[in-house]
Amino acid sequence: MVRAAILPAVGSPLEIAEIELPEPGPGQVRVRLAAAGVCHSDLSLSNGTMRVPTPCVLGHEGAGTVLETGADVTHVAPGDEVVLNWAPSCGSCHHCRIGEVWLCAGALAGAAAVYARGADGTDLHPGLNVAAFAEETVVAANCVLPVPDGVPLTDAALLGCAVLTGYGAVHHSARVRAGESVVVFGVGGVGLATLQAARIAGARTIVAVDVSPEKEQLARGAGATDYLVASDTTAKEVRKLTGGQGADVAVECVGRAVTIRTAWESTRRGGRTTVVGIGGKDQQVTFNALELFHWGRTLTGCVYGNSDPAVDLPVLADHIRAGRLDLGALVTDRIGLDGIPTAFENMSAGKGGRALVIF
């Protein structure tokens, strides 16, 4: 039996309880978690913004050590340190065949399966495939990737979502070029990773926008050259900071209609807006046909940073070893399993960066 944070039903409080994991079967791996990040997507799953079978164990950003492997697992062995990959590619669907592995049609198939049982025998689902809010988990072998050399195991948890998403939004989706200006909306874990990625890309002006004035030092530490507290005049203020033109690139990490619209308005004519934040179906963003023509801007969705973890993790590791990417700077709270509900409350209130569960 191991302790885990269970979501009994959508909208219900998390329950910290013991669960029973099976032995790993063919093509499966058992992992002892070292750390798990508390991501806004977990909050979105718990409140119903995103759908997930329940009861389940949430948590999708994690790293740990392989305890056991089932038959036919060859790329990792007991004792190996691994990063959990919550959206593994199947390799055979249309998107995988054309190289868009982040849009794999079967990436979340494992979330519908029963992977463990509660102490009372209740069937449990694995959240976003990997159920990282637990001391141990059993996952499909393609849900683990070796931790690159030189990356501390607890920090490596952040590579599983926040860093891949933020880095990918800048380098794969927005394709930020050296000398360009970037504005980032939302200074949570993903936003902080996005700011660091913009700095790595050589952006000249990097503006961070958030509702909380308390996050300014966090943002500047991650690479922001300027900080704005969100208001009705945010787009106008961004234009003032960018020579009156507007930013070349905006990255929206919030998932709200008003923020997406403001991000788009903050870019120059011909500018690029990448939406990373996950919003609900009720968040409707509107544009008129004339402004779409006149401004010539682009608005792009971004899933998992448009990243291929197997390709991008070694690149991120090079940045970490060279000191260009600081994973520890993304973490504002180190907590235990019992602290996850409070971390959810802080995210809802717009407080802090990334909370990291340390096992």
Instruction: Average the pLDDT over each of 8-17, 23-32, 290-299, 343-352 and give the range with the smallest value.
Output: 343-352
Domain contains 311: no
Domain contains 318: no
Whether residue 131 sits in one domain with residue 30? yes
CATH number at residue 209: 3.40.50.720
Whether residue 90 sits in one domain with residue 48? yes
Domain contains 308: no
Whether residue 151 sits in one domain with residue 58? yes
Domain contains 321: no
Number of domains in the chain: 2
- Cα-atom radius of gyration of the chain, to the nearest Å? 20
Whole-number pLDDT of residue 348: 85
Q: Could you say which DSSP state residue 23 is in?
A: P
Whether residue 291 sits in one domain with residue 212? yes
Whether residue 133 sits in one domain with residue 9? yes
Helix (H, G, I), strand (E, B) or coil at 304: helix
- pLDDT at residue 350 tops 90: no
Averaged pLDDT, 6-11: 93
- pLDDT at residue 280 tops 90: no
* H-assigned helices in the chain: 40-47, 94-97, 153-156, 162-168, 189-200, 216-222, 234-241, 257-265, 289-295, 309-321, 340-348
Whether residue 173 sits in one domain with residue 147? no
Whether residue 14 sits in one domain with residue 156? yes
Whole-number pLDDT of residue 347: 87
pLDDT tens sequence across 43-57: 888 888 888 899 999
Whether residue 101 sits in one domain with residue 69? yes
CATH number at residue 348: 3.90.180.10
Whether residue 298 sits in one domain with residue 280? yes
Whether residue 185 sits in one domain with residue 102? no
Residue 276 structural domain: 163-303
Averaged pLDDT, 275-302: 95
Domain contains 219: yes
HEC per residue, 181-235: EEEEECCCHHHHHHHHHHHHCCCCEEEEEECCHHHHHHHHHHCCCEEEECCCCHH
Tokens of 83: 């990063």
Domain contains 316: no
Domain contains 319: no
Whether residue 288 sits in one domain with residue 237? yes
- pLDDT at residue 308 tops 90: yes
Domain contains 309: no
pLDDT tens sequence across 163-188: 999 999 999 999 999 999 999 999 99
Q: Judge if pTM exceeds 0.75.
A: yes
Whether residue 277 sits in one domain with residue 153? no
